Amino acid sequence: MPDSKIIPEAVFEVVEPDGSRSVVQVTRSPFLIGRGSEEGNHLQLGDKRISRRAAALVHTEAGFRLEDRGQRNGVLVNGEQVETRLLHDADTITFGSIDSVQLIFHPGTPQESVPELLSRLDQAAALEPGARTLRQLSLLLEATALLQSRMPVEDVLGAMVDRALAITEGERGLLLQAEADESLKPMVARQRGSKSLPLLTVSHPAKRPSRRL
């Protein structure tokens, strides 16, 4: 008889609040997720806002299903709070706080991914000349990976501005959206350190500069 404990390959891409990433392979079912190791968690998270028994990934005939196992602030998939949810590629799991750790689910065989490439670039930046240029490339690749995920739009835009600030060494950044009437609407305001700023109130919306041929 085949071993009933054998499950298809899958990984979680772990995105820390500072933007650093790592990949953790799903090795069993149920695959327990929570803070620390006391509860036998297979994916151990350090954020104190995450419960010791937070969630579990269970393999069923339909696929991999995420279950809330007692996370105090709730478990969200793509921004929607769930008790249980069948996961698909690039689904993003959060734990009640937008500035906490995020898990991005990927079924299939783990291969060299953007997070691994970023890690190698960071190591090269620390050891070889041209560290600044390599670090900038690393941040740009990380931003590209964010756009390919299913994170909430607000989180993606905020993270993109954070990376733009890191690349340019700026203190504050503002993302504007062009409207149909050519006005510019403030979307995201951030300052260095991944901190949100209140959006500007524009009584007379700015106009995009006109082009002259």
Q: What is the CATH number of the domain that holds 45?
A: 2.60.200.20
Distance CA 95, CA 202 (A): 34
Q: How many domains is the chain partitioned into structurally?
A: 2
Give yes or no for residue 115 having a pLDDT over 70: no
134 and 70 housed in the same domain: no
Q: Beta-carbon neighbour count of residue 125 at 10 Å?
A: 18
120 and 52 housed in the same domain: no
**Across all residues in the chain, what is the average pLDDT?**
76
Using 50, 70 and 90 to split pLDDT, how confident is the model at 192? Answer: confident
Q: Residue 107 is inside which H or E element, if any?
A: strand 102-107
83 and 130 housed in the same domain: no
142 and 181 housed in the same domain: yes
pLDDT of residue 152: 59
99 and 120 housed in the same domain: no
Over residues 58-113, the pLDDT tens digits come to: 999 999 999 999 998 899 998 899 999 999 988 999 998 777 889 999 987 544 44
Structural domain of 58: 10-107
Residues 6+ positions from 22 with CB-CB distance below 8 Å: 13, 14, 16, 115, 119
Domain boundary among 107, 140, 173: 107
Q: Beta-carbon neighbour count of residue 169 at 10 Å?
A: 8
Using 50, 70 and 90 to split pLDDT, how confident is the model at 142? Answer: low
pLDDT of residue 82: 94
- Does some domain include residue 2? no
